[in-house]
Structure 1
Amino acid sequence: MKKIIFMPILFCIFLLNIAGTCCDDDTMATAVAKDATPVVNTINNGTWKITYFFDDNSNKTSLFSGHTFTFGSNTILTANKEVTVYSGNWSVLQSDVVDYNSGNDLDFSISFSSPDHLVQLSNNWDVFERTTTRVILRDLNGGTGVIDYLTFEKN
Structure 2
Amino acid sequence: MKTRILRMVLLTLSVSLMSAMCSSDDDGDSNNNSQEIAQIENEVESGTWRVSSFIDSGQDETNDFTGYNFTFDANGTLTATNGNTTYTGSWSVTDSSNSNDDSSSNDDDDIDFNISFNVSENNDFDDLIDDWDIVSHNSTTISLIDISGGNGGTDTLVFTKN
Q: After the TM superposition, which parts of structure 1 deviate over 4 Å for at least 4 consecutive aligned residues?
A: none
Residue 143 in structure 1 maps to residue 144 in structure 2 = no
Residue 108 in structure 1 maps to residue 109 in structure 2 = no
Whole-angstrom distance in 1 between the partners of 2:127 and 2:46: 24
Q: From 96, 99, 122, give the equivalent of 1:97.
A: 99
Larger Rg: 2
Mark the runs of 5 or more structure 2 residues left unpaired by the alignment.
1-31
Whole-angstrom distance in 1 between the partners of 2:131 and 2:48: 21
Residue 38 in structure 1 maps to residue 39 in structure 2 = yes
The offset of 1:113, in angstroms, is: 1.4
Residue 126 in structure 1 maps to residue 133 in structure 2 = yes
Q: TM-score, normalised by structure 1?
A: 0.74
Whole-angstrom distance in 2 between the partners of 1:34 and 1:128: 14
Which deviations, in whole Å up to 9, do the C-alpha atoms of 1:43-71 show, x marking residues without a partner? 00000000000113311000001000000
Residue 79 in structure 1 maps to residue 84 in structure 2 = no
CA 1:49–1:76 in 2, change beyond 3 Å: closer, same or farther? same
Please name the residue that 1:22 is paired with: none
Report the secondary structure of 1:145's partner residue: coil
Matched AA of 1:79: A
Q: TM-score, normalised by structure 2?
A: 0.71
Instruction: Report if the CA contact (8 A) 1:104-1:128 is conserved.
Output: no
Instruction: Report if the CA contact (8 A) 1:68-1:80 is conserved.
Output: yes
The offset of 1:83, in angstroms, is: 2.9
The offset of 1:97, in angstroms, is: 1.9
The offset of 1:118, in angstroms, is: 1.0
Q: How many equivalent residue pairs?
A: 123
Report the secondary structure of 1:41's partner residue: helix
Residue 53 in structure 1 maps to residue 58 in structure 2 = no
Report the secondary structure of 1:120's partner residue: helix
The offset of 1:103, in angstroms, is: 6.2
Identity %: 36
Report the secondary structure of 2:128's partner residue: coil
